[in-house]
Amino acid sequence: MISFFKRRPFLLFILPAFVFYTVFAIYPIVGVLPYAFTKWSGIGRPEFVGLRNFAVIFGTPDLVTQLANSLKNTGLLLALTYVVYTPIILVVAYLLFKRIPGSSLYKAVLFMPQFVNVVAVTFIVTLFFSPTIGLYEAVMNALGLGRWAVPGIWKNTSMGMPLVLLVGVWKGMGYELLLFIAGFSTVPAELEESAKLDGAGEVRRFIHIYFPLVSPTFTNVIVLMYIWTLTTFDVPYLMGGMNGGAGGCMDTIQLFFYRTVFGRSSYSSNFMGMGSALSVIILSVLVGGSLLLQSLLRRREFYNN
């Protein structure tokens, strides 16, 4: 054993993290699978019930309705993240990489929410949209746009996911900025110089040089955003409560899981079995979608390279 590590000393540095990750991440994921096929309250011996938990989830009208609504909202959040957030963060990262005036200040301001607790960030956003003391209310009334004031926003079910995205963007955009800026930094300077000599403007250099060459970073960010979307729980819960706000407009798949398993429901006597079954469903969507995205985007990376 000692000679094995002498020949591969780098494993000594990897081993502690590997053991920690295996015990606290991999084992819980794998260990929950058998309980998905049991009825168990967490006390006593589990009772094997086969696929009954999955039959309850997909056969109970109320659960099916809630699950469909949570999947719809999660899909909407994912679409907003890709269509609205990703292009903005990509352009902002490029501008900061090019060191526009005040870029150091912008980096500090944009990355600062990373160090703030998500509860505090959500509270600040909620306070901003407060119908009594919020700044948003005063600005909308001053512009004669009172119908877009806060009461309308909180009651408008179509604003649920945009508000969740707003908090998520404010809290997490600094991390994606760093990834893209680091990706832009790997582009050889001689390629841009050659493009300049050929008369290519800033936009053309971004489209034909920088964006293709940061495709590995783009793939990682897309996959990370997918994972973040499917695991979003804290912001919808803090803003909309256990039921996901007005009409369930902020309900996500993780909030549905929490409400079904740990809420006051008739499944409390089988919360381990139901929770494990829901975990298997969510994990399947999470892993399957991540692998599909990587497969599709990695092909694009190879094409650009």
Q: What does the pLDDT read at residue 288?
A: 93
112 Cβ partners below 8 Å, 6+ apart? 174
How many C-beta atoms surround the C-beta of residue 171 within 10 A? 20
Residue 66, H or E segment:
helix 61-80
Going by the DSSP 8-state scheme, the letter that residue 241 receives in this structure is: T
Q: Are 74 and 244 in contact (CB under 8 A)?
A: no
Q: Residue ranges of the domains in the chain? A: 53-304
Would you call 231 helix, strand, or coil by DSSP? coil
Give CA–CA dist 82/297, Å, rounded. 14
pLDDT at 126: 77
**CA distance to 36, 175, 242, 268, per residue, from 275 (Å):** 7, 31, 16, 10
Report CA-CA distances (Å) from 221 to 12, 77, 214, 215: 30, 15, 11, 10
Banded model confidence at residue 131, pLDDT cuts 50, 70, 90: low
Enumerate the β-bridge partners of residue 48. 38
Q: What is the dihedral of CA 179, 180, 185, 190, to 10 degrees?
A: 150
Helix %, strand %, coil % of the chain (to 5): 80, 0, 20
For Cα atoms 277, 228, 81, give the angle at the middle one, nearest 5 degrees: 125
Question: What is the C-alpha to C-alpha distance for residues 245 and 156, in angstroms, rounded to an integer?
Answer: 10
Question: Once rounded to an integer, what is the mean pLDDT over residues 138-160?
Answer: 68
**Token pair belonging to 71:** 């999947």
Alpha helices of 186-248 — where are they, by DSSP H? Answer: 189-197, 202-205, 211-213, 215-230, 234-240
- For position 149, what pLDDT does the model report? 63
Condensed to tens digits (0 to 9), the pLDDT of residues 81-125 reads: 999 889 889 999 999 988 888 888 888 888 887 777 888 888 887
Return the DSSP state at 58. H
Residues 6+ apart with CB under 8 A from 297: 215, 218, 219, 222, 223
Specify the fold of 53-304: MetI-like fold (1.10.3720)
**Residue 303 pLDDT > 50:** no
Whole-number average pLDDT of the chain: 83
**Cα separation of 278 and 73, whole Å?**
17
How far, in Å, CA of 148 to CA of 177, rounded?
31
pLDDT-derived band at 79 (thresholds 50, 70, 90) equals very high
Q: Report residue 262: phi and psi, to 5°.
A: -105, -5
Q: What is the pLDDT of residue 152?
A: 54
Q: What pLDDT score does 245 carry?
A: 79
pLDDT tens-digit profile of 150-189? 555 566 667 778 888 888 887 878 888 888 998 888 888 8
